[in-house]
Amino acid sequence: MSLAPAPVPPTSPAESDLVRAARGLPVSRTPVWFMRQAGRSLPEYRSLRAGTVMLDACQDPDMVTEITLQPVRRHGVDAAILFSDIVLPLVVAGMDVEIKPGIGPVIDEPVRSVADVDALPSLEPEALGFLQTAVRQLVAELGATPLIGFAGAPFTLATYLIEGGPSKEHARTKAFMYAEPEAWGRLLDKLAVSAAIFLRAQVDAGAAAVQLFDSWAGVLSAADYAERVLPHSRAVFDGLGDRERGERDVPRIHFGVGTGELLPLIGDAGADVVGVDWRIPLDEAARRVGQQRSLQGNLDPAVLLADRATVDREVRRIVEQGKAARGHIFNLGHGVLPDTDPGVLTHVAELVHELTAS
Ligand code: 1CP
């Protein structure tokens, strides 16, 4: 909760409201950004991307820079999120992954055996020059606005590798987890190493915060999550460096969908900020997570398709409930839906700022 005004306006990403809220420090107003704010509903994104395959766009520093900046210019949000994808480290390591328009990541030869796990290529930090170029360009352009770097968490990446593409039940993934516990551990270890390399590259080049997306962890029971997944997500955060020694000491956001029952564990994995979806109100989330961590969320992205009065009512409710948290970063409960009117996003950012200005 903010008790005293912050020095305003922020003069550097490290002093920004986003970083301050993540650390539980007083803010000038509640920071707001939107998951999947880049590359969804913006016409300027569609025209820039036309004719370029998604995974090529992610490896072109100038295109990454421009697409990342578009929503910041348009909506006045308090953070940029790097335009990339959670499967990019796999692609750069040499795996055969494609992003099919309208579907998502697809892998021709899914991981189904111990031998498949052992045959996975490793990510070499030297292969991430394009990413660091993009981050450096962005940091130069963004001034005091922080850039959030991100990676996919080991579990969520494992779902794509094992299922071969997007899935609802993640049944093959769970079957592999139960039937091949040793290979499962080796697979998640490998994915944790590559996620840590991917995050380190972004932070070393100047990202001011990181988010680990464990989008599909909510399909697991708390016991399975704690035993079979959490240690690997913790390894990603630990792999960023020793915070006590000041190594890459940037705020760490950890998010998954449908994780109401997992929230304390999501925090325990090493987060400063726990991302919350719309299924659970922020005051209840604050009770579950405690006052050692901040919260991020949690407007239902579908609300943005409703009338303006509904949008405003829900935004006000979330701002109120967010006061129960140590610190609050306003966001959606999951990514922007593709049909969202960009004007509504701009309006929400303005309203959050107006309601919370000290
Ligand atoms: O703001 C931004 O858009 C930043 C860039 C970004 C991010 C943070 C993209 C671009 N992808 C992601 C993360 C991502 N990718 C997640 C975690 C966040 C979340 O849960 O939404 C996940 C699960 C993916 C996997 C993925 N990539 C999907 C979901 C498929 C499924 O299982 O339902 C999809 C559709 C993609 C493709 C993708 N990623 C990003 C874009 C702009 C696109 C569409 C590409 C295209 O033009 O076809």
So what's the ipTM on this one?
Answer: 0.92
Residue nearest to ligand 1 atom 29, measured at CA: 104
Which pLDDT does position 39 carry in this prediction?
A: 80
Tell me whether residue 85 is one of the annotated catalytic residues.
yes
Q: What CATH architecture applies to the domain 30-356?
A: Alpha-Beta Barrel (3.20)
Tell me whether residue 326 is one of the annotated catalytic residues.
no
Which of 20, 40, 288, 326 is labelled catalytic? 40
Q: What are the residue ranges spanned by the domains of the chain? A: 30-356
Q: Report the separation in Å between the CA atom of 291 and the middle of ligand 1, taken as the mean of its atom positions.
A: 31
Does 216 contact ligand 1 (Cβ within 6 A)?
no
Q: Report the separation in Å between the CA atom of 133 and the middle of ligand 1, taken as the mean of its atom positions.
A: 21
Q: Report the separation in Å between the CA atom of 85 and the middle of ligand 1, taken as the mean of its atom positions.
A: 6
Which of 29, 160, 228, 268 is labelled catalytic? 160
pLDDT confidence bin for 1, thresholds 50/70/90: very low
Which of 85, 214, 272, 300 is labelled catalytic? 85
Which pLDDT does position 5 carry in this prediction?
A: 56
DSSP state string for 246-308 = TTT---EEEE-TT-GGGHHHHHHTT-SEEE--TTS-HHHHHHHH-TTSEEEEEE-GGGGGS-H
- What are the pLDDT digits (tens) for 49-105? 999 999 999 999 999 999 999 999 999 999 999 999 999 999 999 999 999 999 999
Model pTM score: 0.96
Tell me whether residue 189 is one of the annotated catalytic residues.
no
What pairs with residue 255 in β-bridges?
213, 275
Which pLDDT does position 250 carry in this prediction?
A: 97
Please state, rounded to an integer, the average pLDDT across all residues of the chain: 96
Tell me whether residue 287 is one of the annotated catalytic residues.
no
Cβ–Cβ contacts within 10 Å for residue 9, how many? 10
Phi–psi pair at 320, nearest 5 degrees: -65, -50
Tell me whether residue 40 is one of the annotated catalytic residues.
yes
